[in-house]
Every structure is written in C-alpha cells, then in structure tokens.
A = this chain, B = another copy of it.
Amino acid sequence: MTERSGNIYANIPAAATDEVFEDLVRTEGARFERIVSTGQATPEGEWYDQGWDEFVILLAGEAGLAFEATGQTHTLTPGAWHVIPAHCRHRVAWTSHNSPAVWLAVHLGPATG
C-alpha cells in the first residue's frame, strides 16, 4: 500500500440530519472510519452487533455509549476509547447537539463491513 494522509477534523459537517460515516482509509487488516454525530443516537432498542473487533475513540464532543451485557451507559468525553469485541452488543445512547461528536472507529479484521 502507499502512504496516505489527511486530517480527521477537515470538512466537519456542522449539522446533519443523520450521522455521517466516512472511511478515511482501508488497510489490509483494518478499516479506519470517521463518524460525526450531531445529536443522533442509535434508534431505541437497536444494537450494533458486529462480527469483528472495534476500537473506537471519541475525539470531540460528548456521547453516551451503552452496552447490553452490563446495562451501563458510559459518558464519553474527548480522548475516551473503548475496545468493543466482536458481537458485544452496543449502541450510541446520545451525542452532543451543540458541538459535533467526532469519532475515530478502527474496525479490525478482513471483513469489516
């Protein structure tokens, strides 16, 4: 693969109806994705259930990340990271309205959606 670069804060949508998902780059073993949330949440009762491990870090804004197994919702501030193992059901409970929540998600493995 070749050298690639960018800035994760470039062209942040100030507000959008939906969350904005964008691949920054794919490597052989991982997909690097930027997610920008402006108040959205995973629909009530819906859970992400992925077949691969994910590392996610919140870089700006605030968010609540909920896990079905524990019933807990973690409040994330900038710098907070979580490793979400494959099939660990989780949802975004809330995200900040006034300042966009910017996430970097690293999806690991050969089949990452």
Interface residues of A in 54-96 (CB under 8 A from B): 55, 57, 59, 67, 74, 77-85, 88
Oligomeric state, in number of copies? 2
Q: Is the interface of A mostly helix, strand, loop or mixed?
A: strand
Nearest B residue to A59, CB-CB: B59
Nearest B residue to A102, CB-CB: B79
Query: How many residues of chain A are within 8 Å of chain B by beta carbon?
Result: 37
Task: Return chain B residues, CB-CB under 8 Å to A88.
Answer: 3
9 contacts between A and B (CB under 8 A): A5-B81, A7-B77, A7-B80, A25-B83, A28-B53, A30-B108, A32-B81, A55-B106, A59-B59
Given contacts A29-B30, A59-B79, 14 further A-B contacts (CB under 8 A): A2-B85, A5-B81, A6-B80, A7-B80, A9-B78, A27-B55, A27-B83, A29-B29, A30-B55, A30-B106, A32-B55, A32-B106, A55-B106, A104-B104
